[in-house]
Amino acid sequence: MKLNKSFEQSICILLVLAMQKDHSPLSSQFISQKLDISQSYSKKTIRKLVEGDLLTSSTGNNGGLKLKKNLDEISLFDIYKCTEEAEIFESTNLPQKIFLIPEKVEEREAIIVSALEKIQENLFSQLDEIKLSTILEGTDYINGCVDWKELAAVKDEAMLDTFLKNFAENLH
């Protein structure tokens, strides 16, 4: 099983927004640049997160993307449902083409299907237990701790070092 890239990217998009100082909105273009993702791909991913009720999107001068829910309310399973197909395993009925007795095929296939269903249930249960709030410390997301736009504007390495030092001091 392989998860789509959009699963990991969705997690990062949500974390960037959670860490944004005062939870002010960020544009999809800014997020694309920050995560170094193509803008067309990130827009598709963001649309899935909006449709999944994890983000809000507004237009205008003060518009952009914001979290719709608190990180304590967003699980990895919520993100999975936005970015992945509903079922992990899908039968192609190929065994019916190679075995002669249909009843035996169904019987043997049921063993495999049952095992795969249990695996899927366990995976979904595990994903549902992990909330995004466990990935960040409380101070990182309660009011947001990073002004991503300000950080992006810092071009000089010495200025960046000073900025990061001040940032680290303000966390404690």
Domain range annotation of the chain: 5-86+130-171
Which two tokens mark 118? Answer: 């249990």
pLDDT tens-digit profile of 29-45?
A: 999 998 999 999 999 99
Percent of the chain with pLDDT over 90: 44
Cα dihedral across residues 39, 42, 48, 54: positive or negative: negative
Q: Which of 40-44, 67-71, 100-104 is predicted with the least confidence, judged by mean pLDDT?
A: 100-104
pTM of the model: 0.79
Please give the single-letter amino acid code of residue 82.
C
How high is the pLDDT of residue 21? Answer: 85
Helices (H) then strands (E): counts for the chain: 9, 2
pLDDT tens-digit profile of 110-160?
A: 888 899 899 999 999 999 999 999 988 766 666 676 777 776 776 666 665
**Cβ atoms of 18 and 135 closer than 8 Å:** no
Closest CA to 89 of 58, 115, 50: 115
Cα dihedral across residues 76, 80, 82, 86: positive or negative: negative
Over the range 120-130, which residues count as b (16 or more CB within 10 Å of their CB) and which as e? Answer: eeeebeebeee
Query: Which residues lie below 8 Å from residue 87, measured CB to CB, with a gap of 6+?
Result: 120
State which fold the 5-86+130-171 domain adopts.
Arc Repressor Mutant, subunit A (1.10.10)
